[in-house]
Amino acid sequence: MKWLIVVVISWCIGFISYPLIWPSDVIDTTKTPEELTQTPQTNTLNSLSADKLALHSVNYPSQNSLDRDAFKASLNSDETPYMSIFRIMQLAEQDPLEALLVAQETQHEDLYGLILEIAGKMQFSNVISWLEHQKSTELYESLLDSYLRALATVNPQQALNEIDLLAVEPMKSSIMMSIVDSWASSDAIGAFEWLKLQPETQSTLKMYLNTMYYYIEQSPNEAANLIASLPLNESTNYLITSMVYQLVEKNIQEAVDWLDGIAVEQRASGVFIISRKMAETDPEAALIFLNNQKQSYNLNQDYFNSALAEIASVEPNMMLARLDNYEARVQRDIIINASYALVEYSENDFLQLINPLSDNNKDIALNQRSAQLNQTDPQQAFNVAELINDPATRLESIINTITVWSGFDKRSALAAIDNSSQLTASQKGEISTQIQLQLTSSNIIYP
């Protein structure tokens, strides 16, 4: 029974208060039929506009009449600094200039660059007046760069126009490179066409080279044809290298086919890259490719030797086994690269692998391994150095190892010298004396 009484009372209260709460819905009998039909539509539109305005004023202050002091005061009530940052960045999406002023007055200087990036991408030019007030500060160049680099992604010509007004040399050239780089990252062809019309300076040459890298990524076929038509110089070599890297990661045969289409004198760096990549999966094919390039195109001997040695860094066992097929200078490079590749081998496995080599080549391998280990395992480096056959090379390798070792563990280094079976008494005394005189962190005596 009690619940029925509660329901009846609640219904009565609702019935009585309804006209008071929702007066706009009460039918006015004094109105004409035409007025009655117009009123709901007008009230609905007004209600929606009011709601939208209220929502707008909650999220952000109005663009035209921003109550900055109230907004700043509201930031103080945020639970965390991150919430304040989030709200400032929200404001930046609607009015970057006001966001900059709020960030400035609330000491959020770290947000300037991010706000200016938003302004640039949204093409808000009203922040330029704020930027001009920063000209005397150390931050000006980086702030201007943030704005114009972002602007260049959507309106590169406008960014180029603004830099003429906002910066002078050398700042202008630096930011110009940033603008063109940003432009080329999305439209390399457009940036390239613009650069072709510019006077040739050191700065434009750098921009040209960077733009070509993007060109290669975005339009590899067109870029390949363009690069093939360029005269040979250092910049062209960089471009060819970049082009081959792009192609070889997708398909080695495509890289080989493209290389066959360019001038003989331009192909050396590409041959190096392709043979290195081939060796990862088929070292035999890499060697055949290299030999064919040398015979068919008279490949530069230095590049050929470097490419051979590079294969040894991928397939050391095979290249060491064929060492006698190459001249002494190439043998040395092959051994050094192979030693790098074999650094994870145990000492016994390494010695077994190089055992068939001549004494001279064995010394090269031992000397290289000792140099690689003297930072990470000086005791093993010392042991390897003592195995070197040539006395002069052995002594030099031991001294190099001891010099590094004593820098962080003088006692162990001196003990190794005393226990050496390859050093004479006079050599031990001389090296020990030199070590004792070294001023290192391990023997400095502090007051």
Per-residue pLDDT tens digits for 157-187: 888 888 888 877 888 888 888 889 889 888 8
Please give the pLDDT value at position 301. 80
Predicted confidence at residue 395, as pLDDT, reads 94
Burial state string for 405-414 with b = 16 or more CB within 10 A and e = fewer than 16: bbbeebeebb
323 Rama class: left (phi>0) / alpha (psi -120 to 50) / beta: alpha
Looking at residue 72, its pLDDT comes to 58
pLDDT value at position 21?
40
Shared domain for 122 and 167, answered yes or no, is yes
- In order, the DSSP letters of 212-276 are HHHHHHH-HHHHHHHHHTSPPSHHHHHHHHHHHHHHHHH-HHHHHHHHHTS-GGG-HHHHHHHHH
402 and 431 share one domain: yes
Task: List C-alpha distances in Å: 52 to 57, 59, 92, 240.
Answer: 9, 11, 20, 58
Domain assignment present for residue 194? The answer is no
Query: Of the candidates 320, 341, 362, which is a domain's last residue?
Result: 341
Indicate whether 199 belongs to any domain: no
pLDDT in the model for residue 60: 43
* pLDDT for the residue numbered 335: 94
Structure confidence at residue 4 (pLDDT): 40
Mark whether 376 and 283 lie in a shared domain. no
Is 412 part of a structural domain of the chain?
Answer: yes
- Look at residue 69 in the predicted model and tell me its pLDDT: 59
Q: Provide the pLDDT for residue 68.
A: 60
Last residue of a domain, one of 317, 341, 365: 341
- Per-residue pLDDT at 401: 94
> Do 302 and 325 share a structural domain?
yes
Do residues 407 and 442 lie in contact, with contact meaning Cβ atoms separated by under 8 Å?
Answer: yes
> For residue 78, what pLDDT is reported?
56
Residues 377 and 330 in one domain: no
Domain, as residue range, for 123: 77-183
What b-and-e string marks burial along 222-234, b requiring 16 or more CB atoms within 10 Å of the CB?
ebbebbbeeeeee
Q: Verify that 329 and 359 share a domain, yes or no.
A: no
Residue 269 lies in a domain: yes
Q: Are residues 362 and 433 in the same domain?
A: yes
Please tell me the predicted confidence (pLDDT) of residue 17.
42
Same domain, 384 and 303: no
The b-or-e profile of 85-119 (16+ CB within 10 A means b, else e) is: bebbbebbebbbbbbbbbbeebebeebbebbbbbb
Model confidence pLDDT, tens digit, residues 220-275 = 777 777 777 776 666 677 777 877 887 888 888 888 887 877 777 777 778 888 88
Q: Are residues 378 and 417 in the same domain?
A: yes
Residue 388 lies in a domain: yes
Q: Can you list the residues of the chain whose pLDDT is less than 70? A: 1-82, 231-235, 439-447
**Residues 352 and 300 grouped into a single domain:** no
pTM over 0.85: no
* Boundary (domain end) residue, out of 289, 317, 341: 341
**Same domain, yes or no, for 321 and 358?**
no
Residue 384 has a pLDDT of 94
Residues 367 and 299 reside in one and the same domain? no
Q: Do the domain assignments include residue 121?
A: yes
Count structural domains, the chain.
3
Cβ neighbors of 189 (< 8 A, separation 6 or more) are 215, 218, 219, 222
